[in-house]
Amino acid sequence: MHLVYPAVLAALLFCVGIYGVLARRNAILVLMSVELMLAAVSLNLVAFDVWLRDEVHTGQVFTLFLIALAAAEIGVGLAIVLLVHRNRATSAVDQLRALADRDEEEPEGAASRETTTT
C-alpha cells in the first residue's frame, strides 16, 4: 500500500480536529475534537510502524499508550467540565472569563481591580 494514503488521511483528520477545537463552543465538543486529533496521530504512528517494520513495535506500542492516555484525559477533562457546569451553570468555553486579561474600559473589572489593589 502506498504510504501517502494513511499519511494524508491522518493529516486531514488532524486538521478537522483543529477546526473543531477552535470553532466549538461547548467544552465537551472541544474534548471530542481533541480525540479526533489524537486518533489522527495514532493512525500516523501505526502506519509508520508498519512501514518501518520496527523490531519492538514502537509505533503500535505508542498507539496503545496514546489510547490509554486519551482515556485518562477524557476522565479528568469531563470531571472538570462537570464541576464547571455545576458551579457556573454553563459549559461554553468562551463564557469562562474569570481569569481573562480584562480591558481598562470595562467598568466592573476596573472597579474590582481598584478595590483589590487598595
Partner 1 sequence: MTEREILTTSGQEIVFVLVGLVVLGAAVLCVTTRQLVHAALWLVVALGGLAVEYLLLTAEFVAWVQVLIYLGSVVVLLLFGLMLTRAPIGPSPDVDSGNRRVALAVALASAATLVTLVVDAFRTTWIDLETPHGESAALGDSLFRAWVLPFEALSVLLLAALVGAIALSRARADRADGQADERGAR
Q: List binders of partner 1 among 61-80 (CB under 8 A).
A: 61, 63-65, 67-76, 78-80
99 touching partner 1, by CB under 8 A: no
What is the Cβ-side half-sphere exposure of residue 64, based on CA atoms within 13 angstroms? 5
Question: C-beta of 102: minimal distance to partner 1 in Å?
Answer: 18
| CA-CA-CA-CA dihedral for 10, 12, 19, 83, to nearest 10 | -20
91 touching partner 1, by CB under 8 A: yes
Residue (23 or 111) nearer to partner 1, CB: 23
Question: C-beta of 88: minimal distance to partner 1 in Å?
Answer: 11
Distance CA 81, CA 27 (A): 7
Question: C-beta of 99: minimal distance to partner 1 in Å?
Answer: 18
Contacts 24+ apart (CB under 8 A), 101-108: none
Residue from 2, 67, 72 nearest 59 by CA:
67
Distance between the two ends of the chain, CA-based, in angstroms?
69
**Which residues, numbered 14-53, are part of the site for partner 1 (CB under 8 A)?**
14-26, 28-29, 31-33, 35-36, 39, 42-43, 46-47, 49-51, 53
H or E element in which residue 69 lies? helix 58-88
96 touching partner 1, by CB under 8 A: no
Binding-site member from 8, 100, 110, 111 for partner 1 (CB under 8 A): 8
